[in-house]
Chain A
Amino acid sequence: MNRKHLILSASAALLFAGCQSMQQFGEATLGKMDPALVDAVVPGGGALAKSFQDLTPEQEYYIGRATAAVVLGQYKAYDHKEANDYINTLGQSLAAFSDRPETFNGYRFHMLDSDDINAFAAPGGMVLVSRGMMKLCQNEEDLAAVLAHEIGHIQFQHGVKAIKRSRLTSALSIMTTAAAKEYGTEQLSALTEAFEGSINDVTSTLMNNGYGRALEYEADGAAVTILDRAGYDPKALVRVLERMEATLKPGGLDFAKTHPNPIKRVDNANKAIAATSGQAAAPSKAREARFARFRAAL
């Protein structure tokens, strides 16, 4: 485990309290609940343990904010205004064509000042991409493919899917008690623990373990669909993946660590592409020029 890893784990440990007896606390709080209220929130008033699907878009947004804050604590933002405006506009144009065009607070795209090849999709819509990742793109189509893939992760809520069930059970049980405008100390403390645990689950997935092959394939599938609908060449995704294969160092700390073999993803992507028009957009001097300006800013 190298230095960067140690620092991340240490700060994660300091920042986020461990999950002690969430289940017990949840049950203790449950006892104080108004049964009518429970029935109103959960049909049948039965087991409260649910999945990420019970998180409201607003809660997903707060999880996303805190996730992005962890990423931005690890990597500095790259503040070139025009370059960020370009990827933000491109990204939001693409998101409009996804199966989830609007999240609670919408999609945002911004760069990180790192030569590592990395991209992080915070739940709720904030996408942070490294300069290293941007440099892999040779044209706007490639860039669209990278951003569309990240949109795919948000569309399918892959980030919040990483949250352990026990965190959500606790949070939901507290939600149902609240008639007061703000939480009392005990409730707030339990919610905060659940929140911290949830952020830890999400950032571990994004930054250390990766989503796993199945979810990556799902995001690739979404990317192909988005690209095709928006009018970009879906084959750009395959080009980027092949370039990644050529560039990534095995055992590296970046993309290679958190993602499955690019070549396997190529096979999967090609299957999805076969179902599309698969057409490239007509060449465009204007498009090339704006990409060149972007590239120069990296």
Chain B
Amino acid sequence: MNLSSTLKTGLVAGILMTAALPALSAQIMSVTAREAVMRATPTALGKATGKLAYGDKVESVETKGAWNRIRTTANQEGWIHNASLTKKNIQMSSGGAVDTGASSGEVSLAGKGFNSQVEAQIRNADNAAAFSKVDEIEKLTVPPEKLQRFLDSGDIKPRG
């Protein structure tokens, strides 16, 4: 069957236009870690170039394996692992109507369900010491650069 030349031109123009347009339909995702590290490269211990917070909205610009090159609302770019992002809209506001957002229509309400208020309900004299210890252990953060140095100084060479 022979497509009319008008139709063909239209098709080609359509394809070219779509290719030329910036990623208007780029995937908007929410960050799932309280402090997610943005990296210069799509590698486990790639140089940290910035941090993102839980619920931050980012645009996924490119994917490579399990990694996403993302662009933030401040127009910064960096790589984040898939597991630190979700298509669900993590809604940060604690009151008012729920905005279903641009993505999949599924909303996660931040701070809802099991939260610090609920935890406060189960804390008592008997478990106070244990929860204090949990708080103490949580403070034991390790800066990303220290992790690479640890492996280097132990002559461990990552393979993946």
Chain A residues near B (Cβ < 8 Å): 11, 14-16, 37, 40-43, 55-59, 61-63, 65-66, 68-70, 72-73, 77, 84-85, 88-90, 92-93, 96-97, 99-106, 108, 110, 126, 140, 171-172, 174-176, 178-183, 188, 191-192, 194-196, 198-199, 228-232, 277, 279, 281-284, 286-287, 290
B142 touches A92 (CB 8 A): yes
Nearest CB of B to A224, in Å? 12
Could you tell me the dominant secondary structure of chain B's interface residues? loop
- Which parts of B96-152 form the interface with A (CB within 8 Å)? 96-98, 100, 105-119, 121-122, 124, 126-127, 129-131, 133-134, 137-138, 140-142, 146-147, 150-151
- The yes or no answer to B29 lying at the interface (CB within 8 A) is no
Distance in Å from the Cβ of A146 to the closest Cβ of chain B?
16
Given A89-B150, A229-B44, does the pair A106, B33 have CB atoms closer than 8 Å? yes
How far, in whole Å, are A179 and B109 apart by their CA atoms in the complex? 10
Query: Given A110-B137, A178-B109, A188-B117, are A96 and B45 also a contact pair (CB < 8 Å)?
Result: yes
B66 interface hit (Cβ, 8 Å) = yes
Of chain A, the residue at the smallest CB distance from B106 is A43
Which residue of A69, A102, A284 is within 8 Å of B134 (Cβ)?
A69
Chain B: number of interface residues, binned into ranges: 35 or more
Residues A62 and B115 in contact, CB atoms below 8 Å apart: yes
- Tell me if B134 and A93 are in contact (CB < 8 A): no
Which secondary structure dominates chain A's binding surface? helix
Residues of A within 8 A of B140 (CB): 84-85, 88, 108, 110
A40-B107, A126-B134, A281-B156 as given contacts; A191 in contact with B113, CB under 8 Å? yes
Q: Which residues of A contact B34 (CB under 8 A)?
A: 58, 61, 104-106
Contact B33 A59 (CB under 8 A): no
Question: When the two chains form their complex, are residues B118 and A104 in contact, meaning their CB atoms are under 8 A apart?
Answer: no
The 6 closest A-B pairs by CB, nearest first: A229-B160, A284-B155, A287-B154, A102-B33, A69-B130, A72-B130
Q: Are A41 and B107 in contact (CB under 8 A)?
A: yes
- Is there contact, CB below 8 Å, between B150 and A105? no
Residues of A with C-beta under 8 A to B115: 58-59, 62
Taken together as a complex, chains A and B put the C-alpha atoms of A240 and B157 apart, in Å, by 22
A230-B112 in contact (CB<8A): no
A11 to B96, CA, bound (A): 41
Residue in A closest to B128 when the chains form the complex, CB atoms? A69
A72 to B114, CA, bound (A): 20
Is A62 in contact with B119, judged by CB distance below 8 angstroms? Answer: yes
Bound-complex Cα distance A199 to B138 (A): 19
Q: Is the CB of B108 within 8 A of A72?
A: no
Expressed in whole angstroms, the Cα–Cα distance for A232 and B106 within the complex equals: 40
Task: Report if B6 contacts A (CB, 8 A).
Answer: no
Q: Tell whether, in the assembled complex, residue A102 and residue B160 are in contact, meaning their CB atoms are under 8 Å apart.
A: no
